[in-house]
């Protein structure tokens, strides 16, 4: 143990970084001591975060090459995967549109002392998942003038071609024919035409069921529409397609990790704008399910595009549905920026999800779904209204979606508080986080029965 620890100069607390130069006995010019916190609490999830922070520390010092040494109990497959994910996640900067780049780590090596079987595969899995999460972050961070619904479909198609997924894009006419009135109502105020993006993974076994549907909110910009949002921070509403981007990222990894069950991604992509053709408060639309919806606030648009995507997912044979959406400001009030809100109609699916998200270190908190909450969505003039008032706003929004999922096991993630960071953390850049890409991938890849 170096002298600095014995003297108390460094404490080993989590994320503490100490860069030593020319340490006797080391061939490397520099040695970074990364604080990992309490030994009892240190597992693969903590390792991922610490490695991200270490990479960000080195990158900020113009270092281009690093080697991680994992020894003893810390060289299992799980640790190697998490470390590689962490290195890749920490190496992401939101600078795609900057002329001068800050410079990233170019080479990252993992040295393990114990020769466990499957370490190459573990490393490869970490690379696939880390890159998938960064792909989701990159798409989510695209400016809204460039990432229109059509452009989002083009990104999905290019990814699908590269990784061997089937991609289908339903255009406005097709959606009109099908009767997706709720989705189309949101899009009608924008000059940008809406699309429903589908990505399909089919296992080699040809197995048809269970069939997992991943649904992601793809509002490429949310002005609020006629119920327009205040100007402050409206730029953040470019992240209103982060759920869709996360679904795209997950599919990129799923294509490579090949889970045993079919997985279909559905991303309704629209822009929510005010304008002469925009939908009004008071409008009534007919959804694909046949249910009519009275629009009382055009800013509650996420649920309107998701309800038609959920109905369509059921029509094409999905037996289990998980959606991710930057759905409500109310979830930020309830859970802050730490936990994603989880809502479900099905105990078994919730169980699978809890397992997946805990294994991946993506923080989630289950929200209540008592039947009484849905009373708030009763409309005088239609089957449902699209808002349920301020109390329990994230729960009434979830209930709106559940009315369309019906008997199909369904789980909803409100990521409004967790999809992006307002300020950089030691382990992650400011901007989109890529939540919940890793949990999505874990859920599909580890699906048993
Ligand atoms: N995209 C927003 C939700 C949001 C808020 C995401 C803050 C990220 C950060 C959503 O479309 C919205 O505007 N929801 C309204 C619903 C209300 C009108 C019932 C909200 O939360 O205020
Ligand atoms: Zn909105
Ligand atoms: Zn929105």
In a domain, 175, yes or no: yes
Q: Are residues 218 and 273 in the same domain?
A: yes
The rounded Å distance from CA 240 to ligand 1 centre is: 9
Q: Which helix (H) or strand (E) holds 320?
A: strand 320-325
DSSP conformation class of 425: B
Domain C-terminal end among 95, 128, 161: 128
In a domain, 93, yes or no: yes
CB-ligand 1 contact for 222 (6 Å cutoff): yes
Instruction: Point out the ligand 1 atom lying closest to the alpha carbon of residue 222.
Output: 1
Assigned token pair, 150: 């059509």
Q: Tell me which residue has its CA closest to atom 7 in ligand 1.
A: 329
The rounded Å distance from CA 419 to ligand 3 centre is: 12
CB-ligand 1 contact for 298 (6 Å cutoff): no
What CA–CA distance (Å, rounded) separates 27 from 32?
13
CB-ligand 1 contact for 446 (6 Å cutoff): no
Q: How many residues does the chain have?
A: 449
Q: Are residues 122 and 64 in the same domain?
A: yes
The rounded Å distance from CA 416 to ligand 1 centre is: 8
Q: Are residues 68 and 118 in the same domain?
A: yes
Q: The domain containing residue 75 runs over which residues?
A: 2-128
Q: Is the overall model pTM greater than 0.95, yes or no?
A: yes
Closest C-alpha to 196, from 153, 166, 255, 140:
153
DSSP conformation class of 111: E
Q: Are residues 235 and 107 in the same domain?
A: no
Q: Are residues 227 and 350 in the same domain?
A: yes
Q: Are residues 157 and 32 in the same domain?
A: no
CB-ligand 1 contact for 395 (6 Å cutoff): no
We report the CATH number of the domain holding residue 156 as: 3.40.630.10
In a domain, 141, yes or no: no
CB-ligand 1 contact for 131 (6 Å cutoff): no
In a domain, 399, yes or no: yes
Assigned token pair, 231: 């100007």
For residue 258, indicate whether it is catalytic: no
Domain C-terminal end among 128, 161, 187: 128
Domain C-terminal end among 80, 98, 128: 128
In a domain, 394, yes or no: yes
For residue 303, indicate whether it is catalytic: yes
Pairing of strands 30-34, 17-21: antiparallel
Tell me how many domains the chain contains. 2
CB-ligand 1 contact for 413 (6 Å cutoff): no
pLDDT tens, the chain, 449 aa long: 556 778 888 999 999 999 999 999 988 999 999 999 999 999 999 999 999 999 999 999 999 999 999 987 899 999 999 999 999 999 999 999 999 998 899 999 999 987 788 999 999 999 999 999 999 999 999 999 999 999 999 999 999 999 999 999 999 999 999 999 999 999 999 999 999 999 999 999 999 999 999 999 999 999 999 999 999 999 999 999 999 999 999 999 999 999 999 999 999 999 999 999 999 999 999 999 999 999 999 999 999 999 999 999 999 999 999 999 999 999 999 999 999 999 999 999 999 999 999 999 999 999 999 999 999 999 999 999 999 999 999 999 999 999 999 999 999 999 999 999 999 999 999 999 999 999 999 999 999 98
Q: Are residues 206 and 244 in the same domain?
A: yes
What CA–CA distance (Å, rounded) separates 216 from 245?
7
In a domain, 268, yes or no: yes
Cβ neighbors of 184 (< 8 A, separation 6 or more) are: 172, 175, 176, 194, 285
Q: Are residues 17 and 99 in the same domain?
A: yes
Q: Tell me which residue has its CA closest to atom 17 in ligand 1.
A: 300
Q: Are residues 86 and 227 in the same domain?
A: no
CB-ligand 1 contact for 240 (6 Å cutoff): yes
What is the number of the ligand closest to the CA of 387? 1
The reported pLDDT for the residue numbered 334 is 98
Q: Are residues 155 and 122 in the same domain?
A: no
Q: Are residues 70 and 199 in the same domain?
A: no
We report the CATH number of the domain holding residue 107 as: 3.40.220.10
Q: Are residues 219 and 159 in the same domain?
A: yes
Write down the catalytic residue from 127, 137, 303, 402: 303
The reported pLDDT for the residue numbered 5 is 79
In a domain, 435, yes or no: yes
In a domain, 134, yes or no: no
The reported pLDDT for the residue numbered 1 is 53
Write down the catalytic residue from 30, 155, 157, 229: 229
Q: Tell me which residue has its CA closest to atom 5 in ligand 1.
A: 329
């Amino acid at each position: 143990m170096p002298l600095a620890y014995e003297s108390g100069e460094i404490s080993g607390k989590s994320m503490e970084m100490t860069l030593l130069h020319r340490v006797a006995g080391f061939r490397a010019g520099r040695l970074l001591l990364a604080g990992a916190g309490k030994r009892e609490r240190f597992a693969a999830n903590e390792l991922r975060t610490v490695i991200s922070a270490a990479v960000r520390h080195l990158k900020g010092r113009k270092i281009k090459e690093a080697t991680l040494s994992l020894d003893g109990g810390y060289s299992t497959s799980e640790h190697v995967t998490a470390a590689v994910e962490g290195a890749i996640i920490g190496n992401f900067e939101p600078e795609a549109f900057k002329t001068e780049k800050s410079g990233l780590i170019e080479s990252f090596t993992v040295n393990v002392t114990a020769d466990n079987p499957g370490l190459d595969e573990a490393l490869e899995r970490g690379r696939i998942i880390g890159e998938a999460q960064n792909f989701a972050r990159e798409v989510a961070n695209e400016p809204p003038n460039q990432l229109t619904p059509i452009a989002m479909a083009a990104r999905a198609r290019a990814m699908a071609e590269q990784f061997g997924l089937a991609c289908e894009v339903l255009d406005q006419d097709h959606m009109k024919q099908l009767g997706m009135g709720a989705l189309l109502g949101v899009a009608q105020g924008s000059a940008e035409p809406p699309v429903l993006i589908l990505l399909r993974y089919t296992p080699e076994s040809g197995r048809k069921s269970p069939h997992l549907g991943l649904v992601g909110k793809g509002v490429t910009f949310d002005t609020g529409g006629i119920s327009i949002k205040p100007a402050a921070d409206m730029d953040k509403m470019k992240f209103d397609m982060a759920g869709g981007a996360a679904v795209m990222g997950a599919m990129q990894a799923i294509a490579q990790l090949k889970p045993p069950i079919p997985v279909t991604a559905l991303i309704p992509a629209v822009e929510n704008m005010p304008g002469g053709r925009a939908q009004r408060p008071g409008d009534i639309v007919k959804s694909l399910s046949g249910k009519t919806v009275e629009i009382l606030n055009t800013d509650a648009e996420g649920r309107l595009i998701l309800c038609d995507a959920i109905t369509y997912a059921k029509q094409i044979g999905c037996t289990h549905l998980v959606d991710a959406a930057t759905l409500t400001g109310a979830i930020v009030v309830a859970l802050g920026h730490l936990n994603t809100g989880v809502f479900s109609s099905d105990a078994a699916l919730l169980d699978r999800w809890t397992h997946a998200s805990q294994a991946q270190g993506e923080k989630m908190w289950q929200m209540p779904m008592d039947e009484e909450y849905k009373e708030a969505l009763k409309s005088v003039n239609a089957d449902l209204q699209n808002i349920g008032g301020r109390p329990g706003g994230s729960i009434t929004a979830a209930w709106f979606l559940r009315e369309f999922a019906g008997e199909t096991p369904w789980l909803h993630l409100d990521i409004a508080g967790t999809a992006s960071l307002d300020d950089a953390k030691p382990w992650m850049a400011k901007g989109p986080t890529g939540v919940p890409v890793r949990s999505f991938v874990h859920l599909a890849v580890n699906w048993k029965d």
